[in-house]
Amino acid sequence: MVPSGQPSPAPPTDQASTRPDPATARPDQASTRPAPAPRAEAAARPAGIAAISLGDLAPDPEWRRPVLLDADLMVLVTGGHGTAELDFRPLPCRTGTLLRARPGQALRCTGGQLDAVVLRWTPAALLRDPGLDGDDVPAYRQLTGEDEDAVLNEVTQLVVDLRRQPDVPAAHALLRHQLAVLLLRLTLLAADPADPAQAGRHAESPTFGRLRQEVERGYQHTRRVEDYAARIGCSVRTLTRACLAVTGRSAKQVIDERVALQASRLLAATDEPIARIGHRLGFPEPTNFGRFFTREAGVSPGAFRAARGRPTPAGPSQPNSREHAAAGGRERPTGHGGGRDGAAAGRIVRPRPPTDPTGRAGRA
Whether 99 and 154 share a structural domain? yes
Average pLDDT over residues 34-45: 42
Same-domain pairing of 200 and 337 = yes
- 62 pLDDT band, cuts 50/70/90, is confident
Q: Tell me, yes or no, whether 274 and 175 share the same domain.
A: no
- Cα 23 to Cα 143, 164, 165, 262, distances in angstroms: 25, 7, 11, 42
362 is a domain residue: no
183 and 287 share one domain: no
Q: Which domain holds residue 251?
A: 196-345
Q: Which residue has the higher pLDDT, 142 or 199?
A: 142
Q: Is residue 144 part of a domain?
A: yes
Average pLDDT over residues 209-218: 94
| pLDDT grade for 46, boundaries at 50, 70 and 90 | low
**Mean pLDDT, rounded, for 190-218:** 74
Is pLDDT at 281 greater than 50 in this prediction? yes
- In the chain, pLDDT over 70 holds for what percent of residues? 66
Q: Give 137's pLDDT tier (boundaries 50, 70, 90).
A: confident
Q: Are residues 79 and 60 in the same domain?
A: yes
Region of poorest pLDDT, from 125-139, 239-253, 307-321, 331-345: 331-345
Average pLDDT, the chain: 76
Percentage above 90 pLDDT, the chain: 55
Q: What is the pLDDT of residues 161-178, one digit of tens each?
A: 999 988 888 999 999 999
pTM: 0.71
Domain stops at, among 166, 190, 214: 190
Asked whether the beta carbons of 97 and 142 are under 8 A apart, the reply is: yes
Number of domains making up the chain: 2
The residues, ordered by sequence, that sit 6+ positions from 155 with a Cβ below 8 Å of its Cβ are 34, 74, 76, 117, 119, 182
Burial of 80 (0-12, 13-18, 19+ CB in 10 A): middle
Would you state the pLDDT for residue 45? 56
Angle between helices 251-269 and 236-247 (to 10 degrees): 60
What does the pLDDT average to over 110-133?
83
Q: How do residues 216-272 score in pLDDT, each as one tens digit?
A: 999 999 999 999 999 999 999 999 999 999 999 999 999 999 999 999 999 999 999
Q: Kindly report the CATH number assigned to the domain that includes residue 202.
A: 1.10.10.60
pLDDT at position 197 over 90: no
